[in-house]
């Protein structure tokens, strides 16, 4: 006879997940969602940011080091069933592409690899951008000359991922805001889809999407562009009512 109150294991129990960029705003939300789902978590962040993970010190393994340092990544992803990596365009030292290349090279065969970036990344050139997004990109590209930001390196990073035969997902975030969760964001294959029009996602839900993507095989080798599920455009173009 079935027990009346069976213990249902959470999705990640017994599984090891590496979170690269764990000390950032998105990273810390991902750590929380991963722990809530029973994953054993290894977090990677710059040495100077290790204290930002102090709240989780007794619950996760933290490896300090630059995320584009191949030795750091090789050690961190060892034995991990999933790797979530935050791709950021900071600096002009190939930080994004170095991080992506190291993850692709060292993650164990068959591991789920989930990367974050923004809507500006396009896989097939079929995304349709508003003038606001285009203008923001022009400004971001100008920061290359101040040696602060290198958006082109994020393109190099995602081109590496798109041409890889690993089990990757590239999650493309809309503009982000803080606030309590509204649930799992909705997604479309291309920016320009009316469901994305509101261009806003809670950062905690972006993180939720990253973690949930690990167990969603329909997202393997997809680059979903996401938007908050309670935004006006999502409500207008999905079956969910307000």
Ligand X SMILES: NC(=O)c1ccc[n+]([C@@H]2O[C@H](COP(=O)([O-])OP(=O)(O)OC[C@H]3O[C@@H](n4cnc5c(N)ncnc54)[C@H](OP(=O)(O)O)[C@@H]3O)[C@@H](O)[C@H]2O)c1
Residue 47 interacting with ligand X (CB under 6 A): no
Q: First-to-last CA distance in the chain?
A: 41
Residue 23 interacting with ligand X (CB under 6 A): yes
Residue 56 interacting with ligand X (CB under 6 A): no
Q: Which of the stretches 11-19, 88-96, 161-169, 179-187 binds ligand X when contact is defined by CB under 6 A?
A: 88-96
Residue 90 interacting with ligand X (CB under 6 A): yes
Residue 166 interacting with ligand X (CB under 6 A): no
**Rounded-to-integer distance, Cα 142 and Cα 193, Å:** 28
Scan residues 110-149 and list those touching ligand X (CB under 6 A): 116-118
**Rounded-to-integer distance, Cα 230 and Cα 221, Å:** 26
Residue 192 interacting with ligand X (CB under 6 A): no
Residue 190 interacting with ligand X (CB under 6 A): no
Residue 209 interacting with ligand X (CB under 6 A): no
Question: Would you state the structure tokens that stand for residue 146, as one six-digit string?
Answer: 């101040």
Its sign, for the CA torsion 181, 182, 188, 191, is: negative
Q: Which of the stretches 1-9, 22-30, 31-39, 192-200 binds ligand X when contact is defined by CB under 6 A?
A: 22-30
Residue 156 interacting with ligand X (CB under 6 A): no
Q: Which of the stretches 18-26, 99-107, 185-193, 227-235 binds ligand X when contact is defined by CB under 6 A?
A: 18-26
**Rounded-to-integer distance, Cα 107 and Cα 190, Å:** 28
3-state SS assignment for residue 58: coil
Give the number of residues in contact with ligand X, rule: CB under 6 A.
Answer: 23
Contact 214, 188 (CB under 8 A): no
**Rounded-to-integer distance, Cα 118 and Cα 131, Å:** 16
116: left (phi over 0), alpha (psi -120 to 50) or beta: beta
Shortest Cβ distance from residue 102 to ligand X (Å)?
Answer: 14
Residues that bind ligand X (CB under 6 A): 21, 23-27, 45-46, 49, 52, 86-88, 90-91, 95, 116-118, 173, 175-176, 203
């Amino acid at each position: 006879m079935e027990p009346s109150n069976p213990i249902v294991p959470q999705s990640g129990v017994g599984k090891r997940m590496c979170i690269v960029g764990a000390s950032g705003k998105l990273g810390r939300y991902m750590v929380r969602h991963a722990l809530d789902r029973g994953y054993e978590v290894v977090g990677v962040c710059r040495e100077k940011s290790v204290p930002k993970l102090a709240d989780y010190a007794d619950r996760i393994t933290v490896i300090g080091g630059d995320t584009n340092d191949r030795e750091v990544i090789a050690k961190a992803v060892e034995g991990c069933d999933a790797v979530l990596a935050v791709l950021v365009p900071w600096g002009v030292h190939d930080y994004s592409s170095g991080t992506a290349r190291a993850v692709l090279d060292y993650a164990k065969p068959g591991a789920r690899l989930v990367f974050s970036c923004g809507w500006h990344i396009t896989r097939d050139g079929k995304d349709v951008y508003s003038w606001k997004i285009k203008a923001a990109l022009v400004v971001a590209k100008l920061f290359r000359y101040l040696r602060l930001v290198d958006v082109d390196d994020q393109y190099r990073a995602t081109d590496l991922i798109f041409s890889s035969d690993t089990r990757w997902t590239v999650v493309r975030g809309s503009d982000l805001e803080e606030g309590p969760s509204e649930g799992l964001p909705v997604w479309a294959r291309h920016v320009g889809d009316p469901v994305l029009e509101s261009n806003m996602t809670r950062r905690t839900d972006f993180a939720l999407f990253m973690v949930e993507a690990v167990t969603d095989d329909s997202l393997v080798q997809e680059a979903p562009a996401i938007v908050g599920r309670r935004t006006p455009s999502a409500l207008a173009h999905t079956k969910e009512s307000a």
